[in-house]
Structures are given as C-alpha cells and as structure tokens.
C-alpha cells in the first residue's frame, strides 16, 4: 500500500486547509481514496509512517544511479536497504501490470 500511496505524490507540507478537509486529514474525507478497490477512511498519508517516505527518497536516488552509502556498486549497500528496494520495485511492477489489465 505504501508504494501506491507514494505514487499519489501527496504532501502534507503543500496541502491547503481545504485540501486537508477534502482528503480527510483530520476526519472523514469528502472524497475518499480507493486503493485496490478498498475505500480509505482518511488521507492516504495517514496510513504510512513518516520514516517510510525516506526509503522512497533513497529508492529514487538509487534508481538514478546514486548510492546512499559509500561505495560504487549495489553490493556495497546494506542488504536490508536492497531488500526494501526490491519490495518497492516489485510493488511498482505489480501496480503497472494491474493498470494494463484494466
């Protein structure tokens, strides 16, 4: 779900009070979001721990060829980080395949 929510490109910092009300930042949304045909009862960002978004930032840099930790290849990156990147990438592929099926 985190990958789908990140793909919405929402940002609490850029959200106006009207958008917060519309998206359900502080209660029921005026227009609910749906992910995998499930209705979300509040702003999608509320479902994800803020530290999770740091991994998405790392992943974007990694996809551009930049390494988060010192080294010049993927083998120099922590295994846990590479596992997270694999999960994100797998979910992105699944989302794209589902879009093509619809």
Same domain, 56 and 67: yes
Instruction: Count CB neighbours of 92 within 10 A.
Output: 16
Same domain, 68 and 23: no
Same domain, 69 and 102: yes
Q: What digits encode the pLDDT tens for the residues 42-55?
A: 888 888 888 888 99
Same domain, 57 and 25: no
**Residue 3: domain span:** 1-48
Q: What digits encode the pLDDT tens for the residues 2-29?
A: 888 888 888 888 889 998 888 888 888 8
Are the C-beta atoms of 55 and 88 separated by less than 8 Å?
yes
Same domain, 21 and 59: no
What is the rounded average pLDDT for all residues in the chain? 89
* Ramachandran angles phi, psi of 85, nearest 5°: -60, -40
Cα–Cα dist 26/15, whole Å: 12
Same domain, 39 and 64: no
- Residues linked to residue 38 through DSSP beta bridges, in sequence order: 35
Last residue of a domain, one of 48, 70, 86: 48
* Total-model pTM: 0.74
pLDDT above 80 (res 86): yes
Same domain, 61 and 102: yes
């Amino acid at each position: 779900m985190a990958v789908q929510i990140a793909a919405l490109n929402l940002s609490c910092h850029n959200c106006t009070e009207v958008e917060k009300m519309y998206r359900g930042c502080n209660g029921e949304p005026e227009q609910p979001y749906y992910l995998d045909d499930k209705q979300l009862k509040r702003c999608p960002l509320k479902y994800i721990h803020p530290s999770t978004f740091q991994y998405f930032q790392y992943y974007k840099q990694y996809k551009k060829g930049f390494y988060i930790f010192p080294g010049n290849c993927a083998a120099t990156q922590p295994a846990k980080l590479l596992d997270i990147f694999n999960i994100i990438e797998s979910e992105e592929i699944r989302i794209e395949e589902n879009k093509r099926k619809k």
